[in-house]
Amino acid sequence: IEINHNHRYTVQITEADPFELTANIRLVDWETGDYIDDYEPDNGLETIAIADLLPVGETTYDISTNIVTLALKAGSSFAISTGSNAGVNVQLTYNGNSPADGWLKLEEIPVTTTRAEATQQVKYKISFNESYAGDSYPRGILRLTDKAGGSEEVILIDTTFGTPVVESTGGTMNPDGVNKWDAADNTLYLVQVIGANTSTGTINITSIGGSKVELPANSGITVNPTSSVNTTQEYTFRWASTDDVNLTEKEIIVALKNRSDETKAENIKVKLLPNRISSLQITNPSAGISLSSITATTATLTMPIIKDNQFTLTMDNYSKPTISRCPSWLENITPVSTRNTPENKTVSFTFKLKEDATSFDDTQIVFTNATGGIGMTVNIAREFQAPTVTLIGEPLPTTNTYSGTTMKAKRVKSGTTSTYKIQVYSLGGSEIHSNNGDFTYSLASTTDNTTKIYRVGIQGGNYNSAGSLTFDIRNLKDTSKKVTHTIEYASSRPTLYSCTPNNSISTSINDATANFYINDVAGLYGKDKVRFSITSPGGLKTPSSAIDGFRLTNEHAWSASEPWDEFELYISTTSVNKTGGKYGDATIGTYTFESNESSYFNNLVITLFNKLPIGGGYWASKINNIYCIRVATYVNYQSAVSKINSMGNGWFMPGWPILRDFFKIGDWVIDGERTQSYPAYFTNVFIEGRFYNTDYTDIYECGLRISNINTSSGTALFKWVLMDKYTAESDYYAVAFHY
């Protein structure tokens, strides 16, 4: 028997001798069969084991006090293991009955045991709960209790706080681009400002347990707030304005402390820099931009007026100059980190042409020294350019394309316009000009006097025409600066791309209507489906309405790379019978194919005409200029006649004279037979067996038996026979003819 934990077993020996009893009871391991006679059961918990303390050296365990000190950081954890015969209950609580979803996370780690082990081993992982959003870290109490005896071990879990850490990226700075937090130097740089301004710098401090900032006496700066219970707190340092031109650099040591344990502290530096201006040069200019005629107070900047043009002006100074005057069409895009270090006396200003400027009349940049020194005026000589054109969104209809200065457009139906939406960047204004009467344009919107959005294109109508035209987009300040575009327009009339079987369909197609003729071709003989592909602008939807007895499906959807739809017309029931042949074209029905972009393109209404008769749901085979179809097997005469008569549409059951001439086998005579070459497509319809004709004798119907079909020689044995009129036999079948 298998021995389970905490079960009592009674071994009874019956029919014992009254004077002597001999018995052996042995305990063996269930898996290996080894004796475990030396096993002595224990009660209560095994000695607990603490292991895997992470991070190493920060998370610690005091075995004398059963206290684990867990570092408050991501990844901090330890493992505890023990065992018990009866199993172990584990519970994690907090001092002061704090909520259960606190700063610690308890997880059980599976332990593999054999069946014969005396105790049930357990292992748990206790870790810092990284998703904990609170600001309180009460002592954790981990209880491990034996399920049977109730003996208990308690582990206490305390926190250890870390030193505050400054995030590598600073917050809001003023003056922006000059004041900065340099993580490598562990330094916040603040520069002198004058007037009503205040020099400020913001840093973000992370400290579980809160943080506190202490400034030394007479530092000359303030900080707000001075402390916080939040794990992450933004601190703003302020240096009041001063007009003192004799300032020198000053370094302040600032203490950052953990608010919950002030022994955990870190220092940073705040450097206060004086603010004093000379040399001017241009760097990294876009093509065509240059600086010349530099004097102590003025310079000339030559600049082509082109979108995205930019340049950088550098100068030596003690602080970053202010720009007291700048053209509205230039944007100062100087990055925050303008200097390699704040101690560098060279500052840079980067300007970029503003594409949405309302005016290009201003022509000066004036730099003013913040401490009242000599300034610099830069005069700008402008060079206007040809407009820059960008396509906005998709052309309408979406089958139109645009590449370079060429627009390839589809003709659209009357009342609509084949258009492109273009954005014209013409710094100086723009206009559109063309002498072609087919061309059309309109102003869609105006961003400002340099950026406009136009709709350009060709008018609707002339659906099947093709050709090209040109138009100019000109700069209003200089009309010789222009961009010429070409519109190549193409017919939108659908065409038959292909059909299967080959040549099975011919067409007559107009702008919105078409006649499709299903032709008398051998590839369609005996088939019940035909495929055709239609090229069109944008593609066609499968018609929602159906023709009785037919099913139409899309087997290939239109795409830009393969601009056609392939449809399959399938005769869906054997009850479909249609005329054709010498009776001309028989109408099958009409489908309306809606354009995928019906706002711009005509829907196509296709009327299907049938030239090849349909019988019993299949196109017939033309044999010796007569259309034939096998319509029934294992059939008696009445059923065969009924079936063929119900087909209508010119279908009939032939008499023996027709069969005589059809197969060239001689007059009807009972058991008269002849081996004869059979005509083309014969095996599409005729099989070995007997089929009826309309003639009869007495109670029998006249019939024709075909046998010995030899496809190699193209011959068969034809024999006139009598067939039972009322009883079908297994080789009886019926064939319908149609002229």
| pLDDT at residue 280 greater than cutoff 70 | yes
**pLDDT at residue 342, rounded to an integer:** 46
Q: How far apart are CA 130 and CA 105, in angstroms?
A: 9
40: in domain: no
560: in domain: yes
More confident residue, 20 or 315: 315
The answer to whether the CB of 411 falls within 8 A of the CB of 463 is yes
413: in domain: yes
211: in domain: yes
The answer to whether the CB of 584 falls within 8 A of the CB of 578 is no
Residues 307 and 248 grouped into a single domain: no
Residues 453 and 554 grouped into a single domain: no
Residues 253 and 313 grouped into a single domain: no
Residues 398 and 442 grouped into a single domain: yes
The answer to whether the CB of 78 falls within 8 A of the CB of 114 is no
| pLDDT at residue 108 greater than cutoff 50 | yes
Q: Look at residues 570, 592, 615 and tell me which one is the last residue of a structural domain.
A: 615
Enclosing H/E stretch for 646: helix 637-647
Residues 343 and 323 grouped into a single domain: yes
Q: How far apart are CA 267 and CA 330, in angstroms?
A: 42
- The model carries a pTM of 0.52
The answer to whether the CB of 385 falls within 8 A of the CB of 477 is no
Here the CATH number for the domain that contains residue 226 is: 2.60.40.10
Q: Look at residues 273, 297, 312 and tell me which one is the last residue of a structural domain.
A: 273
Q: Of the candidates 368, 172, 182, which has an alpha carbon nearest to the alpha carbon of residue 273?
A: 182
Here the CATH number for the domain that contains residue 134 is: 2.60.40
Residues 500 and 592 grouped into a single domain: yes
**pLDDT at residue 16, rounded to an integer:** 58
**pLDDT at residue 98, rounded to an integer:** 63
719 backbone dihedrals φ, ψ, rounded to 5°: -140, 130
* ∠ CA 432-437-441, rounded to 5°: 35
The fraction of the chain above a pLDDT of 90, given in percent, is 66
Instruction: Give the tens place of pLDDT for each residue, 18-51.
Output: 666 566 666 665 555 666 555 455 567 888 999 9
Residues 508 and 600 grouped into a single domain: yes
Average pLDDT value for residue range 106-123:
79
7: in domain: no
Residues 439 and 531 grouped into a single domain: no
Handedness of CA 462, 463, 468, 469 (dihedral sign): positive
| Residue labelled with tokens 């220092």 | 267
**pLDDT at residue 349, rounded to an integer:** 93
Q: How far apart are CA 396 and CA 599, in angstroms?
A: 10
Residues 316 and 226 grouped into a single domain: no
More confident residue, 584 or 686: 686
Q: How many domains does the chain have?
A: 6
Instruction: Give the tens place of pLDDT for each residue, 707-733.
Output: 999 999 999 999 999 999 999 999 999
**pLDDT at residue 64, rounded to an integer:** 92
Residues 207 and 298 grouped into a single domain: no
21: in domain: no
Residues 524 and 465 grouped into a single domain: no
pLDDT band at 341 (very low <50, low <70, confident <90, very high): very low
Q: Which domain holds residue 302?
A: 280-384
pLDDT band at 338 (very low <50, low <70, confident <90, very high): very low
19: in domain: no
Instruction: Give the tens place of pLDDT for each residue, 459-468.
Output: 999 999 999 9
30: in domain: no
Instruction: Determine the distance from the C-alpha atom of residue 610 to the mean position of all C-alpha atoms in its chain, rounded to a whole number.
Output: 47
Q: Look at residues 122, 137, 159 and tell me which one is the last residue of a structural domain.
A: 159
| pLDDT at residue 190 greater than cutoff 60 | yes
Residues 183 and 148 grouped into a single domain: no
Q: For the ranges 147-151, 290-294, 438-442, 584-588, which has the lowest average pLDDT? A: 147-151
